[in-house]
């Protein structure tokens, strides 16, 4: 049976999740993660994209990504193929590296972008056995860059969009955004407010 084409909107961000087959680890060390970022850089030269949040865990990764020029499937196909080839060669691995085709969900509203990005950044502290106590202590997430007010280290990573979407009373700054993520983690009322704000856009 032919694969069903995924919906693609060049103006819309997607929340993408890619998992290891049988939820096995696909990142064993810092070198593997560095190779993933080199793969992202290479892919960006072929199919430019914009990334506003990410989190790399041992057995999966999250991207909040927009592909303005080609369908997202081309971007993810190249990323996954390049990294899979590296992994199989390095670890003498055979079979499928990934669980399935990547999960992708469009995130059309500004408020939803904020909530999805907060969810992505909470991964290391929201597991059954938290990896770190605070989001900024996890080295393989974009939250740390927002927290440190760091200039983007990659041409495809945009750290200005999420702060610009913050509702009152948050300041539209990296500090405001990191505070939003901390509040969102604990505050069910804030989640409802953001959802309602999204519906008004």
Q: Domain 13-199: give its CATH code.
A: 3.30.70.1290
pLDDT above 70 coverage of the chain, percent:
90
Which residues are 107's β-sheet partners?
13
Average pLDDT of 147-172?
Answer: 92
- What was the pLDDT predicted at 5? 56
Collapse the DSSP code of 7 into the 3-class scheme (helix H, G, I; strand E, B; otherwise coil) and give the result.
coil
What ranges do the domains of the chain cover? 13-199
Here the tokens at position 33 are: 């993660």
Here the tokens at position 88 are: 């199989």
pLDDT above 90 coverage of the chain, percent:
73
Average pLDDT of 14-31?
Answer: 94
Average pLDDT, the chain: 89
Q: What is the pLDDT of residues 34-53, one digit of tens each?
A: 999 999 999 999 999 999 99
Min mean pLDDT across 29-38, 44-53, 105-114, 187-196 is at 187-196
- What was the pLDDT predicted at 190? 55
Residue showing tokens 């309602």: 196
Q: Residue 85 in contact with residue 151, Cβ under 8 Å?
A: no
Q: Residue 122 in contact with residue 130, Cβ under 8 Å?
A: no
Helix axes 188-199 and 110-121, enclosed angle (nearest 10)? 150
Burial group, residue 74, by CB count within 10 angstroms (0-12, 13-18, 19+): middle
- What was the pLDDT predicted at 32? 98
Q: How many residues does the chain have?
A: 201
For 8, the enclosing helix (H) or strand (E) is none
Q: Residue 9 in contact with residue 108, Cβ under 8 Å?
A: yes
Average pLDDT of 140-150?
Answer: 93
Q: Return d(Cα 137, Cα 108) in angstroms, integer.
A: 30
Collapse the DSSP code of 96 into the 3-class scheme (helix H, G, I; strand E, B; otherwise coil) and give the result.
coil
Q: 98: closest CA among 81, 115, 116?
A: 81
Q: Return d(Cα 45, Cα 121) in angstroms, integer.
A: 26
């Amino acid at each position: 049976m032919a694969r069903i084409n995924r919906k693609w909107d060049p103006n819309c961000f997607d929340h993408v999740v890619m998992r290891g087959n049988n939820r096995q680890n696909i990142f064993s060390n810092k070198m593997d993660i560095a190779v993933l970022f080199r793969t992202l850089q290479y892919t960006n030269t072929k199919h430019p994209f914009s990334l506003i949040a990410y989190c790399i865990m041992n057995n999966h990764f999250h991207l909040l990504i927009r592909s303005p020029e080609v369908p997202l499937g081309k971007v993810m196909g190249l990323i996954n193929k390049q990294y899979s080839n590296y992994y199989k060669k390095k670890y003498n691995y055979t079979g499928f590296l990934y669980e399935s085709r990547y999960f992708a969900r469009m995130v059309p509203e500004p408020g939803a972008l904020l909530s999805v990005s907060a969810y992505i950044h909470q991964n290391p502290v929201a597991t059954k056995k938290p990896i770190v106590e605070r989001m900024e202590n996890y080295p393989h997430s974009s939250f740390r860059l927002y927290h440190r007010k760091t200039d983007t280290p990659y041409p495809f990573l945009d750290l200005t969009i999420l702060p610009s979407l913050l509702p009152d009373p948050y300041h539209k700054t990296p500090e405001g955004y990191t505070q939003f993520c901390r509040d969102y983690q604990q505050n069910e009322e804030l989640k409802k407010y953001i959802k309602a704000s999204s519906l008004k856009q």
